[in-house]
Amino acid sequence: MLETKWSLLQQQKTAHSHVDMQGLVKDFKNKYQDEINKRTEMENEFAHIKKDVDEAYMNKVELESRLGGLTDEFNFLRQLYEEEIISDTSVVLSTDSSCSLDMDSIIAEGLTQYEEIANRSWAEAKSMYQIKYKELQTLAGNHGNDLRRTKKDISEMSRNISHLQAVIEAFKGQRAFLEAAMADAEQHGELH
């Protein structure tokens, strides 16, 4: 009867301890997987932001190219207009000298406004990119720290599991010794 009680008590302790350890290991595995998923999400978000910045830069280059083409076309048309006025001497126009157009200042003003807009857009895009980049670096650092902590915790739990397994094996050896001693005592008639 003592042997049966001892056996039941040992089975309950072993099963309870084993279930607790499995739960803790599972929790740490889930935390580790969550950290990996978060890091992957941050890397994807960084790629999207980089793509947006690249698109903004390409739009700027395209706008500058179009401005160059329009400026060349405008200069060509202005030169053609001036040559046409010079060659056409048969038409005489009387103009009010107070109503003259200064094409060079108009072009310069248009170029200045465009450059201001382009520089402002570039600065805004660059600022946004730098802010997002710093945020992602911070998040990546935080996730890296969390990942290291989780790995450390898993390592510690593994050591605890190994220790508990050694303790369990020692108890099993002790139990086997006690069972053998009890069986030997029963055979010799010492226990009844």
| Structure confidence at residue 21 as a pLDDT band (50, 70, 90) | confident
Sequential DSSP letters for the chain: -HHHHHHHHHHHHHHHHHHHHHHHHHHHHHHHHHHHHHHHHHHHHHHHHHHHHHHHHHHHHHHHHHHHHHHHHHHHHHHHHHHHHHH--S------TTS---HHHHHHHHHHHHHHHHHHHHHHHHHHHHHHHHHHHHHHHHHHHHHHHHHHHHHHHHHHHHHHHHHHHHHHHHHHHHHHHHHHHHHTT---
Confidence of residue 6 (pLDDT cuts 50, 70, 90): low
What pTM, to 2 d.p., does this model score? Answer: 0.33
pLDDT digits (tens, 9 = 90+) for 110-122: 888 878 887 787 8
Tens of pLDDT, residue by residue over 34-86, are 888 888 888 888 888 888 888 888 888 888 888 888 888 888 888 877 777 66
